[in-house]
Amino acid sequence: MPPEDYGRQLEDVDNLLEELIDATMTKFLEQVKDGTWTSEGWSQTNTDYSLSKIAVNAFTEVMAKKLSEHPEGGKIYINSYYPSMVKTAMTGWAGQITPEEGADTAVWLSLLPDQAVNGKFFAERRDTFFKTVFSAGYAELV
Ligand SMILES: NC(=O)c1ccc[n+]([C@@H]2O[C@H](COP(=O)([O-])OP(=O)(O)OC[C@H]3O[C@@H](n4cnc5c(N)ncnc54)[C@H](OP(=O)(O)O)[C@@H]3O)[C@@H](O)[C@H]2O)c1
């Protein structure tokens, strides 16, 4: 199956299953291990990061559905977010904001009163679509 079909499947929120996310990631990892990922159609660069983020967001949506079906009082809400470019080891300390500032949206989400926000992706406290934030990486991917 070409990469764009995997991308489409992982965006198909209504039909998304944990097994599908696992199968997609396992397939990609196998192709990386045996060195065939580019001949299978994946981009040479950034695919690992982009695909990991697509998987995280797909998993957020699957878990959000599953956990919100818990009985009243036992519900768990799950969201994901983009912290902006943060000064950490990952960016070689070249980000624009501190880790504390990067944690702002996560803390804000965790402390929302009467948590009913679920299965969403945020950036700077705003509900957005992860493809908007990762558009460069995503374009590379598909
Ligand atoms: N920094 C940014 O600008 C930025 C932007 C967007 C998204 N993010 C995302 O935010 C997350 C954290 O990034 P960061 O910037 O804080 O990176 P970081 O400073 O490099 O920290 C990464 C953390 O992940 C841990 N880790 C790495 N591989 C692991 C593994 N296999 N099992 C368990 N723990 C593991 C590391 O543990 P050790 O210290 O023990 O190695 C470290 O604590 C990542 O998912 C990143 O993609 C970061």
> Which has more confidence, 37 or 103?
103
pLDDT over threshold 60, residue 57: yes
Stated pTM of the model? 0.84
pLDDT over threshold 60, residue 134: no
- In the reported structure, the alpha carbon of residue 70 is separated from the centroid of ligand 1 by a whole-number distance in angstroms of 30
Cβ 137 under 6 angstroms from ligand 1: no
pLDDT of residue 142: 37
Q: With 0-12 CB in 10 A as exposed, 13-18 as middle and 19+ as buried, what is 40?
A: middle
Q: Phi and psi dihedrals of 50, rounded to 5?
A: -60, -45
- In the reported structure, the alpha carbon of residue 72 is separated from the centroid of ligand 1 by a whole-number distance in angstroms of 34
Domain membership of residue 83 as a residue range: 3-141
Are 86 and 102 in contact by the 8 Å Cβ rule? The answer is: yes
Are 135 and 54 in contact by the 8 Å Cβ rule? The answer is: no
SS3 assignment for 104-131: HHHHHHHCCCCCCCCCCEEECCEEECHH
CATH number at residue 40: 3.40.50.720
Q: Assign 4 a pLDDT band (cuts: 50, 70, 90).
A: confident
Q: What is the dihedral of CA 98, 57, 124, 103, to 10 degrees?
A: -30
| Ligand 1: nearest atom to the Cα of 85 | 3
Query: Mind listing the pLDDT tens digit for each residue in 85-95?
Result: 999 999 999 99
Domain count for the chain, please give it: 1
Query: Mind listing the pLDDT tens digit for each residue in 94-116?
Result: 999 999 999 999 999 999 886 67
pLDDT over threshold 50, residue 72: yes
